[in-house]
A and B are shown apart, each in its own frame.
Chain A
Amino acid sequence: MKISPKQYARTLFEITKDQDQKQITMIIEKFVNELRKNGHIKLGAQIIRAFEKVYNEKNDIVQARVITASKLVESQRESVAEKIVEMYGAKKAEVTYSENKKIKGGIIIRVGDEVIDASVQKRLRSLAQQLT
């Protein structure tokens, strides 16, 4: 039977739940051995990505990408993260920040496949569309 990276990730999450560090090291070793036996070692990267997703989902953590025109200061970052936590009803937000001059101003927040585009560039574009 073919086992998908998602299934591996879910299994890994289940068996490592509520375990201490020592046990986890042991479990991971066994898990990797199992992978090798099944010839699925090459799925490693995908399993890691899927595990991250499963873990975040189960623990109410949202991962967000924030794009702004200029670099945000620490206090701004904190309020952005707070806002994201509030919007998605999560416990914690893991936010990665990046800058892009092209958006001219404002902010773009991306969580999963959802985008909140409040950039100046986007607003200008939709204004242009409505005025033509």
Chain B
Amino acid sequence: MSKDYIIEQLKKQISQASIDTQREKVGTVLEVRDGIVRMDGLSDVMASEMVEFADGTVGVILNLEEDQVGAMILGDFKGIKEGDEVRSTGKILSIPVTEKVIGRVINPIGQAIDGKEVITSDVVYPIEKLAPGVIERKSVHQPVQTGIKAIDAMIPVGRGQRELIIGDRQVGKTAIAIDTIINQKGQDMICVYVAIGQKESKIARIMNELEKKGAMEYTTIVLAGASDPAAFSFIAPYSGAAIAEYFMDQGKDVLVVYDDLSKHAWAYRQISLILKRPPGREAYPGDIFYLHSRLLERSAKRDEKYGGGSITALPIIETQAGDVSAYIPTNVISITDGQIYLEADLFNKGIRPALNVGLSVSRVGSSAQTKAMKKVAGKLRLDLAQFRELEAFAQFGSDLDANTRAQIERGRRTVEILKQDQYAPIPFEEQVVVLYALTRGFMDDVAVEKVTLWENDFKKFMRSQRSEILQNIIKEKDLTDEIIVQLEQAIKDFKDVFAE
């Protein structure tokens, strides 16, 4: 390459670059508090517009007052001092979205934090967006298979639904969400796991587990760590929703987990209090309900006319000492289409997932449940409800009539069957055959301690010797008379083998 050519190119590049001078609006930092700055000037700035500080840090405008503006800082605020110049950018807070985010860990402003290549994209989505309206929506009609027997059978979740997972600390809320993500393999679903104010060690563990199960191939993790500024925790769920919307706009189905919205509310409370917005109940600001309702409203099942696609949301709320009547839990319960309620008592009794079947509901999921599951699940709920009523009498053992005793025995086996290990989601067709065997009384003569063993062996038997029945259930999504005959024969065959 000749010297002249290089110089020529350089000249060309420089002459093409536009370095015209323009009038700009700037502001001056008046005061800096924890993650919040107040500025004057910036007279034409928009709400939630990005501004740039002298050291390159980005901020977002939150308050527009008579002669001041308040902004939160996205990043380190140590370099910002009083009197610094602030420039407006004219852009609403948005993040780059691309297919490349799949399999990655990013922070809430779309930067990779897993040490791999930088994520760039020409497409940017605003973090805050109005939810799809009535015309664009369709009622929920396709199931999300969580792979957890108790949930798929009794609290079914549909694509486009918002199902809250609520419970005390350490009762397996995240476990349910992660199991659901793992079970989406091959289900044509993209998953976004939004970690809000979580321990980085926990996220590292989750990422490892997802990688091991091959679930990172369709999953993005949006991480606002416990040591990141509160502003990150505040915008993280909206970033997650923006990524989900990008995929929904392509007609794909997306599952978003918000883990957890209590910490999100805390972050917003902190920001609001520092901005001197008036505190209300439990010191939360007045718009705390809208904070969550506008986020969860963005999950939707889109009508095919508008491109199809869906966003299913699994928000998580942590309660203190089982108190579901606190401010944030009641808010989110009223926004969502049902809740999965986990209890510490059940967890300690060894019933895992520690699902309280009585208090958990799914308001729209039943219309999305497959027919096959519906046929076995109706009986299951009834069995369990009767068992709860009679459980107190169980200690009178021999004094009970045969019918009551049978119901108690059935109930014990039902509870046993609904137990399930972590990271071990079960495919839908296997759930159906196991629950069929249970509800039709085929397991009544199996000892309670042996139920789990029986179940595992039975699933293995079905997979290896009667896989055509499982295939038929997948195909028909229903238990036809023909399948039932085959299935009952298979169960009988298996019981002969198991007895030996």
Query: Given A112-B41, A113-B40, A130 and B23 touching (CB < 8 A)?
Result: no
**Cβ-based interface call for B204 (8 A):** no
**Cβ-based interface call for A131 (8 A):** yes
What residue in chain A is nearest B88 (Cβ atoms)? Answer: A113
CB neighbours (8 Å) of B14 from chain A are 127, 131
Q: Which residue in A6, A114, A130 is a CB contact (below 8 Å) of B18?
A: A130
A116–B22 alpha-carbon span in the complex (Å): 6
A113–B14 alpha-carbon span in the complex (Å): 30
Task: Check B17–A130 contact: CB distance below 8 A.
Answer: yes
Q: Say how far B4's CB is from chain A's closest CB, in angstroms.
A: 19
CB neighbours (8 Å) of B17 from chain A are 126-127, 130-131
Task: Check B23–A127 contact: CB distance below 8 A.
Answer: no
A107–B43 alpha-carbon span in the complex (Å): 23
**Cβ-based interface call for A117 (8 A):** yes
Q: Say how far A119's CB is from chain B's closest CB, in angstroms.
A: 9
Residues of B in contact with A, size category: 10 to 19
A115–B42 alpha-carbon span in the complex (Å): 11
Task: Check A114–B24 contact: CB distance below 8 A.
Answer: yes
Query: Given A127-B14, A131-B13, A113 and B19 touching (CB < 8 A)?
Result: no
A127–B21 alpha-carbon span in the complex (Å): 12
What residue in chain A is nearest B86 (Cβ atoms)? Answer: A113
Task: Check A123–B19 contact: CB distance below 8 A.
Answer: yes
* Chain A residues numbered 1-22 whose CB sits less than 8 Å from any CB in chain B: 6
Task: Check B23–A126 contact: CB distance below 8 A.
Answer: no
**Cβ-based interface call for A118 (8 A):** yes
Best-surrounded residue of A110, A114, A118 (most CB of chain B within 10 A): A114
Q: Say how far A53's CB is from chain B's closest CB, in angstroms.
A: 10
Task: Check A115–B18 contact: CB distance below 8 A.
Answer: no
CB neighbours (8 Å) of B23 from chain A are 114-116
Residues of A in contact with B, size category: 10 to 19
CB neighbours (8 Å) of B18 from chain A are 130
CB neighbours (8 Å) of A126 from chain B are 17, 19
CB neighbours (8 Å) of A110 from chain B are 26
What residue in chain B is nearest A4 (Cβ atoms)? Answer: B66
CB neighbours (8 Å) of A113 from chain B are 25-27, 40-43
Task: Check A118–B21 contact: CB distance below 8 A.
Answer: yes
CB neighbours (8 Å) of B42 from chain A are 113
Q: Say how far A6's CB is from chain B's closest CB, in angstroms.
A: 8
Given A113-B25, A114-B24, 16 new contacts (CB under 8 A): A112-B41, A113-B26, A113-B41, A113-B42, A113-B43, A114-B23, A115-B24, A115-B25, A116-B22, A117-B21, A117-B24, A123-B19, A126-B19, A127-B17, A127-B19, A130-B19
30 contacts between A and B (CB under 8 A): A6-B67, A110-B26, A112-B41, A112-B43, A113-B25, A113-B26, A113-B27, A113-B40, A113-B42, A113-B43, A114-B23, A114-B26, A115-B23, A115-B24, A115-B26, A116-B21, A116-B23, A117-B21, A117-B24, A118-B21, A123-B19, A123-B21, A126-B17, A126-B19, A127-B17, A130-B17, A130-B18, A130-B19, A131-B13, A131-B14
Enumerate chain B interface residues (CB-CB to A < 8 A).
13-14, 17-19, 21-27, 40-43, 67
Enumerate chain A interface residues (CB-CB to B < 8 A).
6, 110, 112-118, 122-123, 126-127, 130-131
